[in-house]
Amino acid sequence: MPIYIRHLPGNPSKIIDDAIVPPNNVFFNPSIAWPILYIRRIEHLQTKEINSMFLFNLETKASYNVPSPMHLLQNNVNLFTGIEDLRICWYKDRLWFSATSTHTSPNMTSELCVGYFNKEFTAVERMSHVDIGSFPVKNVCPFVVGDDLLLFDIYKSAIYVCTELYEPSDIPNDSTQPQPKWIKFIATKIKSLTSAPGLSIEGFRGSTSPVHLHGNTWGVIVHDIIFNDQASLITRLSYLHIWMEFDVVSGVVSFVSTPFWLAQWGIEYVSGFMVKDQNVTIFMGVNDQTALSFVTTLHDLRVGK
């Protein structure tokens, strides 16, 4: 059976000028929650890589460099340090995120953590490891439906609701009384994703947070990977991006596009997008070292079945 891979029409551009990037630093894999743009920042040292968060307000042009909350993570001797590849969303007037860390639990492998920033964007105010029953875990993405903070996991074909766990207490929820102690965030599976007849989501992996389109229909960019046969650390040959639409109430995936690439054939990783008036701005990292935006249309995303 033939495999069709298309070059998505659109206009790529760099987000950060290389001339202002400090030595031994790279910025890539952006995520958007208007008007805040997050970009993953890595400082490469001789024995480790330190992840931090660069936030930029697209309206005010204010920027913030936020360190990883090491006090909320386990001590480690891993090469990869801190929290990485955030996906951000607004929830109850706070900028929330899901992220991955290799030392958010004693397992010392890539796992999910969830948290939010303080209102000044100077620090992570609250964060915890979130156990979804498997590891390693990467690219589980947050989105908000009504009053719920949800987590989208295409790899496990699941949607979870994220809530807070407090210590048991008989104290009434009254502002005049001491409040129960917060423990952590937890995720509870509430929906399984299933494919409409003729479609398949088998093997897909997470890329972006879903974005509301209309009614109960949400759109999301996911990916597949072509691997090479070399037994080395870098075994990816190319990412294949796929536009997908699903019903958030039933969990039924109603549309899957043909795979596509954007700015280059190879290591380009889509990590965020936004839709405005049928125009789409996609955010991605290229070669794990450069942040790009890519302007296209919703029609071009959907072309091809």
Q: What is the pLDDT of residue 190?
A: 98
How far is Cα 18 from Cα 211, in angstroms, rounded to an integer? 30
How far from 124 is each of 39, 92, 120, CA to CA, in Å?
A: 15, 16, 10
Per-domain residue ranges of the chain: 6-302
Q: Among residues 70, 44, 56, 107, which one has the least CA distance to residue 291?
A: 56
Q: What is the pLDDT of residue 234?
A: 55
Does the domain at residues 6-302 carry the CATH identifier 2.115.10.20?
yes
Q: What are phi and psi of 204, to 5 degrees?
A: -70, 150
Q: What is the pLDDT of residue 134?
A: 81
What global pTM score does this model have? 0.93
For the chain, the three-class secondary structure string (H helix, E strand, C coil) is: CCCCCEECCCEEEECCCHHHCCCCEEEEEEEEECCEEEEEEEEECCCCEEEEEEEEECCCCCEEEEECCHHHCCCCCCCEECCEEEEEEEECCEEEEEEEECCCCCCCCCEEEEEEECCCCCCEEEEEECCCCCCCCCCCEEEEECCEEEEEECCCCEEEEEEEEECCCCCCCCCCCCCCCEEEEEEEEEEECEECCCCCCCCCEECCCCEEEECCEEEEEEEEEEECCCCCCCCEEEEEEEEEEEECCCCEEEEECCCEECCCCCCEEEEEEEEECCEEEEEEEECCCEEEEEEEEHHHHHCCC
How far is Cα 9 from Cα 296, in angstroms, rounded to an integer? 6
Residue 278: both structure tokens together: 């049928």
Written as tens digits, the pLDDT of the chain (305 aa) is: 567 899 999 999 999 998 999 999 999 999 999 999 999 999 999 999 999 999 999 999 999 999 999 999 999 888 899 999 999 999 999 999 999 999 999 999 999 999 999 999 999 999 999 999 888 899 999 999 999 999 999 999 999 999 999 988 655 666 666 778 999 999 999 999 999 999 999 999 999 999 999 999 999 999 998 876 665 555 567 899 999 999 999 999 999 999 999 999 888 999 999 998 878 999 999 999 999 999 999 999 998 55
Q: What is the pLDDT of residue 227?
A: 76
Q: Indicate the residue type of 72.
A: L
How far is Cα 64 from Cα 5, in angstroms, rounded to an integer? 38
How far from chain centre, in Å, is Cα 174?
36
How far from chain centre, in Å, is Cα 42?
16
Q: Among residues 174, 247, 256, 240, which one has the least CA distance to residue 217?
A: 247
Residue 124: both structure tokens together: 């992570």
How far is Cα 177 from Cα 56, in angstroms, rounded to an integer? 39
How far from chain centre, in Å, is Cα 285?
12
CB proximity list for 65: less than 8 A, separation 6 or greater: 41, 52, 53, 54, 55
